[in-house]
Structures are given as structure tokens and as C-alpha cells.
Amino acid sequence: MTNSSTDSTTSSTTASTTTSAPKKYSILDLFSSWRLARVTSMIYFIWFANSLTYYGLSLNTNDFVGDPFVNFFLLGAVEVPAYLACMYVVKRFGHKKTLLVTMVGAGLGCLAAISINCKCLKCFDNLCSELQSSPLQTTTTLELSLQWRESSA
């Protein structure tokens, strides 16, 4: 009789452990260790920078040269092949390498736009002085390159 009571006790504990509710996670679990906190912070920063750039370009299509409706359409139409290319590249090379290459490429593009904006490709001192003395402008790279070509000709 003792065996049957022991068997029923073990079966009830086994049943209670398998039917227990799964652990509920909160946002604080993302910061439970230093490694998770570091990865979470990097992802938040990258998401913020990408969103700021995307919406900055999308909302400033009126400042581009040409018809604002055509510019907005072209900006949206470029996204379809870009999404397809991203899916292929991520599957082929992985997330980390793809993110690294695209972020470095975007950074180099921004540096190129700044150097075109300042019209001084030869000297870094002039670049810094012009960046500090001029207010933030909302001109496009195309407009700046056209102005630079006209002034250098």
C-alpha cells in the first residue's frame, strides 16, 4: 500500500511540473546580464539611426531637385528591389556581415556628402572649419554636386 501512495505522489509531481505555466519575460530581462544589455543597447542605437535616416530622406523628398511626387515615387520604388536584394544577401552572407558592410557603406556615403557639401576634398582643416561655421543645411547631394561643379568650372 505504501508503494501505491508513493507512485501517486510521484505521478502528481510529474504532472504538476509538466503543466506549469511558461515563464513570463519582461523588458527588464533584456538587461539581466552585461552581454544582453550591450547587445540590446547596440540594437536600439542601430534601429534609431536607421529610422532617423529613413524618415529624414522620406520626409525631405520635397527638397530634392525635380517634381516632389516623382521623387517620392522613385524613393518608394527603389525599396522593392532593395528588399529583395537584402533578403538574398542576408541569406547568403548572414546578418552580421551584411549589417557591417551596409553601415560602413552608409558612413562612407555620409562622409562623401559632407566633403562635397564643404567643397574641399583636399584639406581636412578646411572641412572642419566650414562645418563649425556654417549652419545645418537641407540641400541635397545632387544640388551640392551641381553647385560644386559650377564653382570649380
The radius of gyration of the chain from alpha carbons, rounded to an integer in Å, stands at: 28
Per-residue model confidence as pLDDT tens digits over 32-45: 999 999 999 999 99
The CA-to-CA distance between both ends of the chain, in Å, stands at 104
Domain ranges of the chain: 66-146
139 vs 40: CA distance, rounded Å: 34
- The model's pTM is 0.51
> What averages of pLDDT result for each successive group of 10 residues across the chain (153 residues)?
51 56 88 93 90 80 79 86 92 92 85 65 51 49 58 60
